[in-house]
Structure 1
Amino acid sequence: MRLVFQTPELTDREAIVIPASGRTRRLLQAILMDEDGQEVENIAIVYEMDKSIEGIWIDGDMLYLSDQVAQCTQFYVIAKVKLNQEICTTLKIEVIKDFTLQDALPSPLEKEGWELVYHEEFQDGQIDWRKWSPYYLRGWTEDRLAKADFYFEDGKFIITSKPDREPWCVQDGEHRVSSIQSFERTHLHRFGTVTGSREIPDFRGFATKYGYFEVRMRLPDTKDGSHFAWWMIGVQDDQHITAEVEGSEQYAFGVFTNQTAEFDIVEQTLDAYTESKDYEPNIWRPVIHPNGSTDLNYLWVEPTPIINSPSHEFHVYGFEWNEKGTKFYLDGKLVQETDRTPNYRMMTLFSLYLGAKDGSCGMGRDRGIYPKEALIDYFRVYKKKEEAKPISLVINDYQGPSYLQIPNEKVKRYRMTAYAMDQWDKPIEADILWYLGTDVQGMRVLSRKEEEAQGVTIHRKTGEVIVEAHAKENQDIFLVAYCEENVKEVKHLKLSKKDPYGETLRFEISEDTITKGSERILHATVYDQYGKRYPGQIRYTIMCDIVGSESCRIEGVQLRDTNRLVVDKDVPSNTYLFIEAQEEKQQLRACLVLRVI
């Protein structure tokens, strides 16, 4: 029997660098092997240091190193079988104290010329779960594979990893991801050769158009083949609920949605020994991808050196986006500027990619050093202080219908609605006109003769759509609302003759808070594919999070009379309640997130 460290020796290029502030940590992994070289399971192993060093300690199987370490040093970690401590082994650790490391200071919360519209400071060990999903693009995979690992410590939100994490999606190879994101929907961010997404309820956390976005963070410091990304993508409000477009091989960006641009604001390798000059750990190089969007072209932004190390220091990354282009700021200084700007709202993701041992996932090879952790100090979003103006449009409150019904005779009429939004995501008065386009980009306009031939016409001022009996079933309809030259929105619909069926389930509640010592009547409604109410028996359950995989009991919170939510006065403020509505017969679900105040 012998004890073997799975953790590589943390010396030379794997030596641990003490961060400028706070602490870092390393997972100690040792296993017991029998004479045949097989692992002996369920054996308790204990770890200890061969000497005491201020600022370094072990808790369980985790080695901690803080900024209190005074100088470069080295020591050994001894692993022992708990019930037979004669079976032991050692791991050499080298520690580097770099006195040149220095964190960039946080920016003031108030920013001259800008209005703060949303921020997460994490000071109370919380994140606003009305705005964030702890899952990664889960429409393409199983919930358990998409769920993030994270925790809060010292006013930081920390995205972390475990060595046994599985690949997040079979269609994406060996990529393992721990990530949070501010929006969810079916078909969101298609990648590779995937051809279909499982249906998930929309989660409308936080998405916006234009502004100044700022993050103070320290990237993972394991120096091996993983990478971290702060990125934004379009939320695809223009797509049909099924993403189908008539014709063969049409499941592609630029066909079923035009809102696909991607800002890789920070996409940083952790590998300090990569041979690629394109990805260097101390070079900041944002990337802008159109992903099929006609609104902009690809651009690899010019590189900016980061003094010292983004993995051992906190740095402040700023991103400004307006109708003219984008700007990138490092520690408060403008470093790069582009003319790339998509014309739709976008969501935010923070993603830790663990890589593969053979390096097949790009950006280096995972050498088994854990945990890989990104520390986010704050996330802030500002809007320019200027005169309000229309910058986007909302069709039918981002809701249905997804189909227009073809009548058996004569015509059917549908009244579409649209309103303009200003740069603060507030409704604003605007004269809105409509037309029928020929694709999801809404670039071309059908003539009146073409409209009549396809059996669908639209009133240019009221948005009333008329569908005639001779219209072809399954035909794609692209409604376009616009109020100014560059302010428009497309909604992809299809024509159908099918009888109504329950398609979506929605909560009919606008408030996202509930006062302690109060109650709320829960009300969710089933809608058919034509946007009409549809009968259904709805059951409500308090769940652990937005996916509804596990029910939850919260002291002082009850559901009475099937749909009466009661919150006692002793329930702590900032408790988040995840209420699932489920229509079992039609297998429809929706989630409501409430914060107790």
Structure 2
Amino acid sequence: MVNSRVELDERFAGDTLDPDVWFPYYLPHWSSRAESAATCSVRGGELHLSIPVDQPLWCADLHEEPLRVSCIQSGSLAGPLGSAVGQQPFRDGLRVREEQPTMWGYTPRYGHVEVRMRGVVSARSMFAFWMSGIEDRPERAGEICVAEIFGDAVRDGSADVGIGVKRLGDPALTQEFAADPLGIDVAEFHTYGVDWRPGSLAFSVDGQVVRRLDQAPDYPMQLMIGVFDFPAKATTDTGAAPVPELVVSHVRGHPLSSG
């Protein structure tokens, strides 16, 4: 049984993340907390996630593409040490390397969920807000991607924004994901949201619906908010590339009316 709050109005008051809601590690069961801890700060009513130049690689010996990441999530589940049970496996044969307590902060099943955020990214980085099945059963593994933005798809006045459903381990879902251009400056704040109902999803940017899908996961999902860096994409002129940063001013979630 998953016990978590049914509403969320996170405005990042104070100077630390709320530990009852947020887990500031990216899938630490496949690596460790030390290797997966987010570089983050809470100040002025905003969450800042960044990847400084000295941040180490995530799961360097197992993840095929070099990856650095600062991500927070609103739930976590993994099996005992040595178990194959763990959320979001990225390759076959993974085993839990470090045990983690089960944590359910905010894991809705249907509702309206939105994040107001802005990102600074280059051609080698990206930021994203998505919802991932809690995987208390293996098939509860689908994803609702609300916004996935790669720096190499950002142009003056527009960006390709990845939106949709990723099937992953859920046989009931159909892969239905695309990154289409939207006329927004992702370095400025925008609100990316989804209305999630049984059998349907309506994705919005700044309150305007930009995509509708006639399918939806039907199990609790946790929120994932993060910024990613891909060192292998570096070029000879990336010495001046900005430090990837994601700034979040609010995260909200609430049940939808029956209408």
TM-score, structure 1 normalization: 0.38
1:273 is displaced (CA, Å) by: 7.5
Query: Relative to 1, partners in 2 of residues 1:281 and 1:260: Cα closer, same or farther, differing over 3 Å?
Result: farther
Please list, as runs of the form range in 1=range in 2, the aligned pairs for 1:434-473 lying within 5 A after superposition.
none
1:193 is displaced (CA, Å) by: 2.8
Please list, as runs of the form range in 1=range in 2, the aligned pairs for 1:39-54 lying within 5 A after superposition.
none
Q: Paired residue for 1:376, among 235, 248, 256?
A: 248
The code of the aligned residue for 1:262 comes to E
Please list, as runs of the form range in 1=range in 2, the aligned pairs for 1:450-529 lying within 5 A after superposition.
none
1:126 is displaced (CA, Å) by: 3.9
Residue deviations 1:369-392 (CA, integer Å, cap 9, x gap): 3422111010000212349xxxxx
1:304 is displaced (CA, Å) by: 4.5
Q: Paired residue for 2:206, among 311, 316, 331?
A: 331
Distance 1:385 1:365 in 2: 53
Residue 259 of structure 1: aligned partner: 140
| Identical aligned residues as a percent | 26
**Structure 1, unpaired ranges of 5+:** 1-115, 239-256, 275-279, 388-597
Q: Paired residue for 2:68, among 166, 173, 176?
A: 176
Query: Relative to 1, partners in 2 of residues 1:155 and 1:273: Cα closer, same or farther, differing over 3 Å?
Result: closer
1:365 is displaced (CA, Å) by: 9.3
Residue 124 of structure 2: aligned partner: 225
Please list, as runs of the form range in 1=range in 2, the aligned pairs for 1:176-195 lying within 5 A after superposition.
176-186=68-78, 187-195=86-94
Q: Paired residue for 2:15, among 122, 125, 137?
A: 125
Q: How many residues align?
A: 242
Distance 1:288 1:304 in 2: 17
- Answer yes or no: is the 8 Å Cα contact 1:178–1:352 preserved in 2: yes
- Answer yes or no: is the 8 Å Cα contact 2:140–2:170 preserved in 1: yes
Distance 1:382 1:206 in 2: 10
Distance 1:273 1:118 in 2: 30
Distance 2:19 2:236 in 1: 33
List 4+ stretches of structure 1 deviating above 6 A. Answer: none
Residue 169 of structure 2: aligned partner: 292
1:302 is displaced (CA, Å) by: 6.4
Please list, as runs of the form range in 1=range in 2, the aligned pairs for 1:571-590 lying within 5 A after superposition.
none
Query: Relative to 1, partners in 2 of residues 1:210 and 1:175: Cα closer, same or farther, differing over 3 Å?
Result: same
Matched, 1:162 2:52: yes
Distance 2:254 2:236 in 1: 37
Distance 2:248 2:183 in 1: 17
The code of the aligned residue for 2:76 comes to E
Q: Please, what is the CA RMSD of the aligned residues?
A: 2.4
Residue deviations 1:538-590 (CA, integer Å, cap 9, x gap): xxxxxxxxxxxxxxxxxxxxxxxxxxxxxxxxxxxxxxxxxxxxxxxxxxxxx
Residue 579 of structure 1: aligned partner: none
The code of the aligned residue for 1:202 comes to T
- Classify the secondary structure of the residue corresponding to 1:271: helix
TM-score, structure 2 normalization: 0.85
Residue deviations 1:132-184 (CA, integer Å, cap 9, x gap): 11100001002111000011232111101111111111211311111111111
Q: Paired residue for 1:213, among 109, 113, 124?
A: 113
